[in-house]
Structure 1
């Protein structure tokens, strides 16, 4: 009798999930995959679906995207970056999907690796007069965290408000002792989707991957670098960590701060009066750029759409630096189409990643790249963690978003799209220098003869790509 009741209950739950899949309008291939999992893996199938399968764009875990109201058009000067006509469509796409327009009264500093980045960050923190907002996926105990604590204590004594937001999974190792020190000196802290059993199933798969610092709504930092000593000391297994970060001064910082304050409200429940934050501009027309926040609550797949559009707009070259390139069908086809059309497509990544399963999955796509004529460069002098895309000396993308399902569909990310020929050419030069120090893979016939055992492992890993 009990077994019959359990079977009936399982069938009822499975049917509810089937109806949910049909109503949510996910891709047919994904729907079929989840239906197969639900009906062939007892219990485990619907647990996996709860963890990884639900469509957040339909269910709206958070629906506070515009909690600060529409951006006052008078606050920001409309800019028209000097880019070709087909790339103007990208700026319109970003404006419509993320409500972040092009700003041009900005100064931009490109920061490479931990030493330069943290020197710039600590110098800027000392200049704070009103507030310091920090948001990190990984915030770890160590020398950097201790130095930040010292700065925080001095600035709070000067009546500067400090708010720190950290991800519940990425910063899971952050000690309670350190958090108590922050609270003691007056730092306001909040944890984004903490690791709690009550929200475990609904929140585990959706992380806040952003790295943002905003100082007085005037100076902002974002990019790939977390608060971790490995950016200064390196990693025993992977060597020196290489990454790219940005320092922004000007009106674009206002968009970074709006992103932070939205996340702060979601995590803490405390709403801050945003009207008190003044929009700053550098005196002259400077660097044109757009800040693009994205997440699973957006109406559209913002980051995927922008990446896809940039790839399709490439006419001369497309250079990508990214440690986690696990493309979905659309991105893969766009990359291959660009290369087959005569665009110089190159991918630069580390010779190995920090997660072996991810490394196998990344390599599972190499054969497709090479067949289409895409050049692959494997960097062996440390671990490349940068998330960079360069296109035709017109667009440079720097930020937190990888080219994988997690960044494109599940994580909260922040990417900066810069429309500046000088910056693009400088970054292209650095890219080509790194390529010269890397191992080139370009021979498709030779690569496809690799041992069948490697192909089998890569094929298995590829099956898990939607979860990675």
Structure 2
């Protein structure tokens, strides 16, 4: 059985870990981060796409019994006050003006000028043109790390129950949508050291100043750390992969390890592929999956993809909505008559009363599981930009034997995620997984639904627009003049009419 992980091609580095696992949904991750940060003695490093000073980490009974403040900035500031040696560094993407209305204003003043001098906040604009910094990770005392799809910000908290109405799911006093995501935890000095190296390289590029971190001291988290409610993975090694045109921290330009990893994992799949992704518009990844679906021989492949029902904002529709509709259509065509099974789904929240919930659960996770021998989780969506121009960071676990301890724990993680999306406590599936899920989704037995895209309007636009030619989800650093020609050559007017029509229909 060929190995998927290939250092130098789809892996930046492989490191030993003392313990590792998944934290599923914001409630579990925020609580784990809070508890771990309380134990920090030397430093905390935070890299993210977005931070909010008033993001609430603990809620309900957990907040009532908390040993300190429960909102992000007050909590971090209190840690500096109680631990005189503690240094905290926060590195946030210096976001584009298009996101300004959605972001907290005057963040540098709020985060740095009103807090302890050992809490340092910087915006990072060292990415390439049209790119963004999208790596989401934390390092505590050079011993424990978290990475995945979750930022410490508003509108991200939810529990695995994904209730339609949850009085604790509030941001700045207002209810927000049900939200699903996955974060990994990694205990080990070697892997945390590599992530600290990545952080300090990013900080130096962004600020022009180095960071000197103290050497790790005595053990902060014991020999076999595991947060409450964690899904443990029986692994002693983890591989890290990046997208970074500038290659921090190695300086090797054009780093596309994450995309290579997705493509290689799909090509080597023998029995099953499970994917959760916020968006699916990547040309390279979709073409790899089409090639695998069209390949004969071997056992029938079971492919399950869980993503959002539709783009929720105009920005998302412009950037990836139409391209995703084409990908879904192409994948379904490739699966027809291939002997392989393909199921593409979205999921709705737990609903009380008659009829369908008014909105779906927002899928923000980025997970791929192949043959229950390989698990990948991180920040990278299946989009062109995540494969080429944004900075991304993923972690992978692999075993040669799906029946060993790691394989069984990967299988348990996959079944647990599918059970969550169905809204059941436990899941036992036979060999024809997609047929069973299609049947349950069609009968609305549970929360899983068959994805409706592309609809008639999308098909009409796809007849005149090539969404891959639009500049909003680039798969390479391109010339602006060529981008402008591509927009108009391929029908920006038709795209605009479709967007306006859809927005009118939703009023």
Gaps of 5+ in 2: 58-69, 158-168, 225-233, 247-252, 336-341, 350-360, 399-405, 423-436, 438-446, 474-507
Partner in structure 2 of residue 319 of structure 1: 274
Q: Following TM superposition, by how much is the alpha carbon of 1:464 offset from its aligned partner in structure 2, in angstroms?
A: 4.7
Secondary structure of the 2:156 match is helix
- In structure 2, the residue matched to 1:86 is 2
Give the distance between the partners of 2:12 and 2:379, measured in 1 at CA.
19
Q: Which residue of the other structure, out of 236, 239, 243, is the alignment partner of 1:294?
A: 243
TM-aligned CA distance change 1:326 to 1:181, over 3 Å = closer
8 Å Cα contact 1:255-1:291 kept in structure 2: no
Q: How far off its partner does 1:156 sit? A: 1.6
Give the 3 Å change call, closer, same or farther, for CA 123–335 of structure 1 in structure 2.
same
Bigger shift: residues 272-281 or 419-428? 272-281
CA RMSD, aligned part only?
Answer: 2.9
Cα distance in 2 for partners of 1:346, 1:461 equals: 26
Q: Deviations over 1:173-196 (max 9, x none)?
A: 2332663453341211211118xx
Give the conservation status (yes or no) of the 8 Å contact 2:128–2:245: no
Structure with more helix by fraction = 1
Note the C-alpha offset of 1:331: 2.1
SS where residue 39 of structure 2 aligns? coil
Shift of 1:203: 4.7
1:356 aligns with 2:324: no
2:293 aligned with 1:332: no
Aligned to 2:305: 347
Assess, with a 3 A threshold, how the Cα gap between structure 1 residues 149 and 333 changes in structure 2: closer, same or farther: closer
**Aligned counterpart, 2:106:** 176
Count how many residue pairs are aligned between Structure 1 and Structure 2. Answer: 366
1:246 aligns with 2:184: yes
Distance 1:315 1:322 in 2: 21
Taking the aligned partners of 2:273 and 2:238, their CA distance within structure 1 comes to 19
Normalised by the length of structure 1, the TM-score is 0.71
Paired residues for 1:130-279 under 5 Å = 130-144=42-56, 147-157=71-81, 158=83, 159-169=85-95, 172=100, 173-176=103-106, 179-183=109-113, 184-186=115-117, 187-193=119-125, 203-232=128-157, 233=169, 239-250=177-188, 251-273=190-212, 276-277=215-216
- 2:411 corresponds to 1:394: no
Q: Provide, for residues 57-111 of structure 1, a one-character-per-residue CA deviation record: whole Å limited to 9, x for no partner.
A: xxxxxxxxxxxxxxxxxxxxxxxxxxxx412xx32x234565412x333311311
CA distances 1:14-44 after superposition (whole Å, capped 9, x unpaired): xxxxxxxxxxxxxxxxxxxxxxxxxxxxxxx
Distance of 1:282 and 1:461 partners within structure 2 = 54
Is this contact kept in 2: 1:214–1:253, CA < 8 A? Answer: yes
C-alpha spacing 1:336/1:114, structure 2 compared with 1 (3 Å): same
CA contact (8 A) 2:244 2:254 kept: no
- Runs (4+) of structure 1 exceeding 6 A deviation are 234-238, 278-282
Give the alignment's TM-score, normalised by structure 2. Answer: 0.66
Deviation at 1:282, TM superposition (A): 7.4
| CA spacing shift, 1:177–1:399, aligned 2, 3 Å | closer
Q: 1:229 to 1:94 in 2, by over 3 A?
A: same
Taking the aligned partners of 2:262 and 2:135, their CA distance within structure 1 comes to 17
Distance across 1 between alignment mates of 2:275 and 2:306:
6
CA 1:141–1:151: 2 relative to 1, 3 Å: closer
Of 373, 383, 402, the match for 2:362: 383
2:242–2:255 CA contact under 8 A, matched in 1: no
**Alpha-carbon distance between aligned partners in 1 of 2:135 and 2:285, rounded to the nearest angstrom:** 22
Matches of 2:222 and 2:374 in 1, distance apart? 21
Conserved? CA contact 2:241–2:393, under 8 Å = yes
- Alignment partners' CA distance in 1, 2:304 and 2:30: 30
Shift in CA distance, 427/181, structure 1 to aligned 2, threshold 3 Å: closer
Query: What is the deviation of 1:274?
Result: 5.6
After superposition, the Cα gap between the structure-2 partners of 1:181 and 1:407, relative to the gap in structure 1 and judged at 3 Å, is closer
Structure 1 residues 424 and 457: alpha-carbon distance in aligned structure 2, compared to 1, 3 A threshold: same
Q: Which of the residues 455, 460, 464 maps onto 1:456? A: 460
Aligned residues of 1:126 and 1:151 also touching (Cα < 8 A): no
Partner of residue 415, structure 1? 394
Pair 1:115 & 2:70 matched: no
Residue of structure 1 in register with 2:230 after alignment: none
